[in-house]
Amino acid sequence: MDLIIRNGRIVDGTGLPAYQGDIGIRDGRIVSVGGRIPGTATEEIDAAGRVVAPGFIDPHTHFDVQLLWDGQARPALEHGITTVVPGNCSLSLAPLKVEHRPRLVGMFQQIEEMPDAAFDGAFEWTWESFADYLTALRSKLAVNVAPLAGHSVIRLWVMGDAANERAANADEIAGMQELLRQCLEAGAVGLSTSFVDVDERLQPVPSRYAHAEEIDALAAVLGEYGRMLQVVPEFYATDITLARVDQLAELSLKHQIPTTFSPLFDSAANPDNISRVMARVEEQMARGARVWPQVQTRPIDISFTFEVASLLFAGTPGWYRTMRLPRDEKIAALRDPERLARLLEEAEPGGNTDRFRKMRVRAVARREDDGLVGRSLGDIAAERDSTPARVMVDIALANDLDASFVATDLGHNDPARVGALLAHPMVHIGASDGGAHIQSFATYGDTGYLFSRFVRERHDLTLEAAVKKITADTARIWGIAGRGLLQPGFAADITVFDPDVIDRGDEVVAHDMPEAGMRYVRGSRGIYTVVVNGAVAWSAAAGGYTEARQGQVVTR
Amino acid sequence: MELSRARSFTTARPGEEWADIARRTLADQDPGQAVEALQSWNLHLFLRQPRGRILGCDVIFTEPPLTDAG
């Protein structure tokens, strides 16, 4: 054998109770599970006292661009993620004509907060078709990829600028069907679309111009292959989300396809949302429809600086426009009393300071401001006889914009409610957004948080149930064959971890993007070894990431 | 299996504007009042910029919220 993992507590992804045993691997596949494997292997790992589980699958990521320079999808891999699904929310890097690249870059930057440097010179565009994109990707992969094809780029390819203007005609719909067919033949795991996103001009993305006939026609192609339709619904409005559930259910039943919508959030501001949406999902699932709500494990926290336009300011257009200004103009605007007065009125209308009062100072550049770190803007404002928004601006300017703030507990933060939701048999754990929003929050470590918070601390799920949710269930929901279970014949994607320690690390600033670009990340805790297709891709004992590049496009 | 009653909705057909949708879904009402009613049930569309633009994928409710409707 190539690799034997010995003495582990095997949690095999079925949800059945864990048991002690060895796992043997040869040629990238599991050949033996349980019992004592005689003889030796080229490499052996002692997993005594640790859980041996299938590698985790993250079904909602935006690692598309990052994978081109970082096939390890750092830091997802060190959290035990062995397969990622990029291409969500109607955006994928293919199929894409050369002339449409600037449009896609703009959409990625707007929706996923990808900086310029992530595109400029960090990789070479060598493809237009989905097949050629996967060829460019394959040699770099340390993680597995199950890529979605994006509806917005498919529309762009077929309709050009009209993709953002009008309904498609019959010929154009047929063209999109054929293009989607090519993507699925090449290895796409499905189609993603969005009903809510806007592009860099703050205009609806192309997928939002699609009428029912177009979506139905594309779903029909998915039906030919039994592939997934992923959508971003109006998650902030329950009635609309319910309508989307019904639409997806009809498509699922008509074309016999799985569908998933993400995200589904819990919110104190809309406490009935979860129960109403899940009641509808249950009804539709009982009819035989496959409509999987994706729910993230982590609460919603958003960090921001004045250097970039955070999505946190999307609800205050004046602030958003100001944050998008070039640096010098931005500082000038904030120092202009009249313009600042208008911004403050927008932020705190009629003296209502709710928007910024609870936000805290996260980091500062000036040593004399160190005492502000961790304190709320409301607290500092009271001390200075000012207002929260005003002190935020003052702190930012005093630190030459090199100050960061954090809005915590913006929602999805009631552990009892979220825990019950995650344990629901019709909830698909996902929606991490891995690799996106990189300058607002860390989209890594949701799996560690699942175990630390909802298994170990709260007991909302058993260890076995939690593993099943993010391995075998995910593989089955997405039609990813031969993965998600520890069974002979399955791909050797394996995560070894300590169930008493596994967790997400603290959110920290890293400058590991191209040209030392900044992002928020989290390391992992309690993960010991991550195996992808039989190769050790990450090992705590070996100091972290290895040279292994055994990742595959799992649909081909 | 029968679904429980949900708030009814439609989506626009290519080329349809508010008046067209009102005529199609609220045929028994006065046309002007029907448009006003439709817009009042769909403020998420009517109030966005540019004002009242309908996109192909939009959910358009054809009755008020069920809780209000009683």
Q: In this structure, what token pair is assigned to residue B57?
A: 């994928």
What token pair was written down for B38?
């439709």
Give domain status of residue B3, yes or no: no
How close are the terminal C-alpha atoms of chain B, in Å? 24
Residue A145 three-state SS = strand
Degrees (nearest 5) of the Cα angle A401, A404, A409? Answer: 150
A347: buried, middle or exposed (CB in 10 Å: 19+, 13-18, 0-12)?
Answer: buried
**B1 falls within a domain:** no
Q: Do B56 and A208 touch (CB under 8 A)?
A: yes
- Which residues contact residue A448 at a Cβ distance below 8 angstroms, ignoring those fewer than 6 apart? A79, A80, A502, A503, A504, A505, A524, A525, A526, A527
What is the number of other CB atoms lying within 10 angstroms of the CB of residue A376? 18
Whether complex ipTM tops 0.90: yes
* DSSP structural state of residue A386: S
Count the domains in chain B. Answer: 1
Q: From residue A431, how far is each of A263, A313, A403, A454, A498 by CA, in Å?
A: 6, 21, 29, 17, 24
Cβ within 8 Å, pair B4-A283 = yes
Mean pLDDT calculated for residue range A433-438: 88
Higher pLDDT, residue A556 or A446: A446
Residues of B whose CB is below 8 A from A238: none
The whole-chain average pLDDT of chain A stands at 94
Cα A160 → chain centroid? 28
CB contact under 8 A, A211 and B56: yes
Tokens coding B4: 């429980």
The Cα–Cα gap between A329 and A513 comes to 26
- C-alpha–C-alpha distance, residues A551 and A234, integer Å: 34
Q: Are A402 and A331 in contact (CB under 8 A)?
A: no
Neighbours of A42 (CB within 10 A): 10
A355-373 pLDDT, tens digit per residue, is: 899 999 988 999 999 999 9
Please give the Cα distance from A104 to A96 (Å, whole number): 8
Q: What is the DSSP string of A502-533?
A: -EEEEEEEEEEEGGGEEEEEEEEESEEEEEET
Q: What is the pLDDT of residues A185-210, one digit of tens each?
A: 999 999 999 999 988 888 999 999 99
Which two tokens mark A530? 């991550």
For chain A, say whether B48 makes contact (Cβ under 8 Å): no
Q: Is the pLDDT at B69 greater than 50, yes or no?
A: no
User: Tens digit of pLDDT for each residue in A210-229?
Assistant: 999 999 999 999 999 999 99
Cα A507–Cα A513–Cα A514 angle in degrees, nearest 5: 170
Structural domains present in chain A = 87-131+151-300+410-478 (3.20.20.140), 302-407 (no CATH)
The A residues from 162 to 191 touching B (CB cutoff 8 Å) are 166-167
What is the pLDDT averaged over residues A176-193? 98
| Residue range A413-427, pLDDT digits in tens | 999 999 999 999 999
Is pLDDT at A513 greater than 70 in this prediction?
A: yes
Looking at chain B, which residue has its C-alpha nearest residue A281?
B3
Shortest Cα–Cα distance, A176 to chain B (Å): 16
Q: Are A303 and A447 in contact (CB under 8 A)?
A: no
Of A167, A242, A246, the CB nearest to B14: A167
**pLDDT at residue A118 greater than cutoff 90:** no
- Structure token digits, residue A295: 């729910």
The two tokens of residue A363 are: 């980091």
Q: Is residue B57 part of a domain?
A: yes
Separation of alpha carbons A63 and A58, rounded Å: 11
pLDDT at A115 (0 to 100):
75
CA A115 to chain centre: 17
For residue A363, what are the β-bridge partners?
A404
Q: Do residue B4 and residue A209 have CB atoms under 8 angstroms apart? A: no
Question: Which amino acid belongs to residue A239?
Answer: D
- Residue range A80-111, pLDDT digits in tens: 999 999 999 999 999 999 999 999 999 988 87
The reply to whether B13 falls in a domain is: yes
CA-wise closest residue to A207 among A230, A187, A223, A184: A230
Q: Give the CA distances from residue A299 to residues A265, A412, A437, A452, in Å, rounded to whole numbers and listed in that order.
A: 9, 5, 15, 14
Best A165, A211, A235 residue to mutate vs chain B (most B CBs within 10 Å): A211
Neighbours of B17 (CB within 10 A): 12
Q: Which residues, at least 6 apart from A206, have a Cβ–Cβ distance to it below 8 Å?
A: A90, A151, A152, A153, A155, A156, A159, A163, A164
Q: Is the pLDDT of residue A475 over 80?
A: yes
Set of chain A residues whose Cβ sits within 8 Å of the Cβ of B1: 283, 286-287
Quick one: closest CA in B to A168, which residue? B14
Q: What pLDDT band is residue B70 in, cutting at 50, 70 and 90?
A: very low
3-state secondary structure of A33: strand
> pLDDT tens digits, residue range A254-292?
999 999 999 999 988 899 999 999 999 999 999 999 999
Read off the tokens for B64.
């008020």
- Is residue A207 less than 8 Å (CB to CB) from chain B? yes
- Say how far residue A50 (Cα) sits from the centre of its chain: 27
| Of residues B12, B7, B46, B63, the one with CA closest to residue A208 | B12
Residue A240 with chain B: CB contacts under 8 Å: 44, 59
End-to-end CA distance of chain A: 25
CA angle A196, A202, A207 (to 5 degrees): 40
- Is B4's CB within 8 Å of A239's CB? no
Say if CB A525 and CB A503 are below 8 A apart.
Answer: yes
Domain span at residue B56 reads: 9-69
What is the per-residue pLDDT for A193?
98
Which of A471, A522, A113, A449 lies closest to A296 in space, CA to CA?
A449
Q: Specify if B42 maps to a domain.
A: yes
Instruction: Measure the CA angle with vertex A234, ends B41 and A198; round to 5°.
Output: 110
Give the rounded percent of residues in chain A with a pLDDT score beyond 90.
82
With a pLDDT cut of 70, the percent of chain A lying above it is: 100
Give the mutation candidate from B11, B13, B57 for the A interface (greatest A CB count, under 10 A). Answer: B57
**Across the A/B interface, how many CB contacts are shorter than 8 Å?**
57
The per-residue pLDDT for A108 is: 87
- pLDDT bin (cut points 50, 70, 90) of residue B33 is very high
pLDDT in tens, A225-240: 999 999 999 998 999 9
A192 part of contact set with chain B, CB < 8 Å: no
Structural domain includes residue B2: no
**Does a structural domain hold residue B4?**
no
* Residues 6 or more apart in contact with residue A244 via CB below 8 angstroms: A195, A231, A233, A234, A261, B59
pLDDT, mean of residues A68-77 = 96
Residue among A173, A207, A240, A320 with most chain B CBs within 10 A, to mutate? A240
pLDDT at A404 over 50: yes
